[in-house]
Amino acid sequence: MIIQIKVGTMENFAYIIWDESTRDAAVIDPGWEVNKILEKIKSLGLRTRYILLTHAHFDHASDVRELKRHTNAKILVNEKEKAGFGDQMIKDGDIIKLGKKEIEIIETPGHTQGGVCFIFDRENIFTGDTLFTNGSYGRTDLPGGNEKDLGKSIKKILSLPGKMKLYPGHDYSNKPTSTIKEEKQYYNL
């Protein structure tokens, strides 16, 4: 299951994903409003096992330590992020077990050097600031950004199955979610 939660003042999305049978959960990019996230976790009766970061920019990671304090969940981040925190470093191809479900890590540098996306249950991808909806994508003018790398990462994402549902890191368009097939129409690949 997946819940998308709008948090903060920068149109961020945080996500709670879980295995219904075990109630094991992960939170993706808890940048702001940790109490809103914690209330939802409690109301659903979930056990938060992981805090997953697509990248370590403050608007995606500000409330990581506070969420860990309340849940004792492991913080997972790519080592190339040099975030200064993280209980477990993740890299391309890693598989994280969440109850009976799996989360696959794919590295997608460009917005940051250590940007990653999470593929959950082979049908859903959480793209952080690498790829948004309606043909928009993350900036490359911040430290660690690289336009050429971002282009390669977008191609990598768009090579995935067309029916895969895409969940971005921000609500920058009139569509809070999309699919790989829908997003392909904006690019000449």
> Can you give the pTM of this predicted structure?
0.97
In this prediction, residue 52 carries a pLDDT of: 98
84: number of Cβ within 10 Å: 7
Mean pLDDT of the chain: 96
Q: Give the DSSP letter of residue 80.
A: G
| Mean pLDDT score, 171-179 | 95
Total structural domains in the chain?
1
Secondary structure of 96-108 as H, E, C letters: EEECCEEEEEEEC
Give me the CATH number covering residue 21: 3.60.15.10
Q: What domain range includes position 116?
A: 2-184
Maximal CA-CA distance, the chain: 45
Render pLDDT for 53-96 as a digit per residue (tens, 0 to 9).
999 999 999 999 999 999 999 999 999 998 888 999 999 999 99
Average pLDDT, stretch 37-50?
98
Q: Is the pLDDT of residue 189 over 80?
A: no
Q: Residue 17 — pLDDT band, cuts 50, 70, 90?
A: very high
Instruction: Report, as an integer, the average pLDDT of 1-8.
Output: 97
Predicted confidence at residue 84, as pLDDT, reads 86
Is 56 within the bounds of a domain? yes
7 falls within a domain = yes
